[in-house]
Structure 1
């Protein structure tokens, strides 16, 4: 059994609604609930008005593990500011018409749509992904392309943010995309707080690879954790990949291979992402001197800061400050 909503309705908050349908995956449902549905006493305010809905009073979840009941009816999807569509392991079975119609109505009125894992199939069946970028789990890439050739599938990334439609790849990527949405809505500081509550990486860029090789290490000190912590404590210093390699006592080529294997990205891309995240936090905390932000975050100049913050967030530092800075926050 489930309650209709984990928090009382408050139309002053952005409403996130999850459609649960027959054979939906519990993990992605749990991810959505953890990220968008829990109260945040550590933040001091709620971030979203969250609810579940279903086309049936009782919904049998994946493989009959359990039955979900006591949630809102499908009409709740028509109140969503963000609608998370259902997914399931059997991608060959079409979604019921009522669910697809709800997705189409949400898209037509400008709601944000989110698909976790095979949820991209639901979005594509509804016809809202035609000509758009999306991703899905790598094992279904060929099937997806064959069925939906008009969708621009990016099969080797964690998630795709195409503005008002966002899709995540495999199950764990739902957490990455969910935190990305929180970061987009509330800024890096709040997203970091949510990630700490989840004990999950605060920021993995959507462009990282889905399939990350994790071979059994030959030596116990091959973990990147020590060098990552060391670098995060020195982001304002002129660190280069060679410095990270020296700290790890390996060659730059070996470090590059380990980053690719363990994080699915390059040392330089990771370092740049960490610096941009620090810059965003400084801006959110009230620092308006962008040259100083650039120096403290290791980005060098205000020009470089503007370019990288805009690339990562879609906003200029000034716009980011107006939206997420101390004076721009609400609640």
Structure 2
């Protein structure tokens, strides 16, 4: 027999002694200590299952970004930030261990007033090292800059390109080189700091920078010549200075003399057409053919002027 459910008239629930017995047994089991322990275990298992599921979900959500970054490394299309980070990671993986060769500071033999040259080179392959060169291992690659900082009694002026490319290709045994002119100002100690920096392509992003390599060197005074050599050097310097001064004096005198001659020539010049015969003389008449011209002009009828000698009597 079935008895209609009081809560829902459309559904029918079975009624009878079997149904009542089942309900009573379930109530008794739920009230027993064994049931409570099982409920607790079930609750703890459910909580642990939820925690594990959340952890798996978080791990699965993080995988796409890693795959995306790996895809950027393989050349796939990525966003701006992810692509730049992927390129930097790939560039850092391509760095290699090279060798930095630089001049021993003690071999410079620095002297006041005499410039010396400090050289550095980054090599990607093995080559024979020179005697006056020190070597250091350095991590490099791509675009490299080697900087030399000087302090103390000398200045360092770079005379080579600042940024150069470095490769580990064995076909290129001579690596890029940097040169500085070291000019001591006075006697004392000069301190050097050499820095090697690798950049990402042509940007200012640093891939790796080696800690500065420090060194120092002594600067000595210029040695003065002694004995006969000193006398010859002094005589030569005096003679050279005297020649230079005489050349300057001669050039000044020649300039003054030239100006004086130009002024005198300009004031003494007169045109020939404006010249008149002296007073008291009569111009000579042109001679006929066959007649000789009188060597002197005839005097005026007024007689000789004062100061002239009277004609002598030839009789």
What TM-score range do you get, normalising by the shorter chain?
under 0.3
State the TM-score, normalized to the length of structure 2.
0.15
Give the TM-score taking structure 1 as reference length. Answer: 0.14
In terms of fraction of residues, the more strand-rich structure is: 2
Which structure shows the higher helix fraction?
1
